Amino acid sequence: MDYVSALLPPFVMAALFIAVIRVIVKTQGGANKAKEDAAVDAALSRVEGARQSSGKADA
């Protein structure tokens, strides 16, 4: 029975790892994708706007 207790933790960790990967894959896209994309686009435009305004001040 020692082999069962030796193999149980790796199997449990493998099952949890697979479950986490499945959750990550399932939550990609869907209803929140547009909201996340809009937040990223807004952040990028703010950074780009700040970079352009600082570039104009230097010139």
pLDDT digits (tens, 9 = 90+) for 6-45: 889 999 999 999 999 999 888 777 777 788 888 899 999 9
pTM above 0.75, yes or no: no
Lookup: tokens for 3: 């082999």
Whole-number pLDDT of residue 10:
92
Cα–Cα dist 17/15, whole Å:
5
Cα–Cα dist 2/6, whole Å:
6
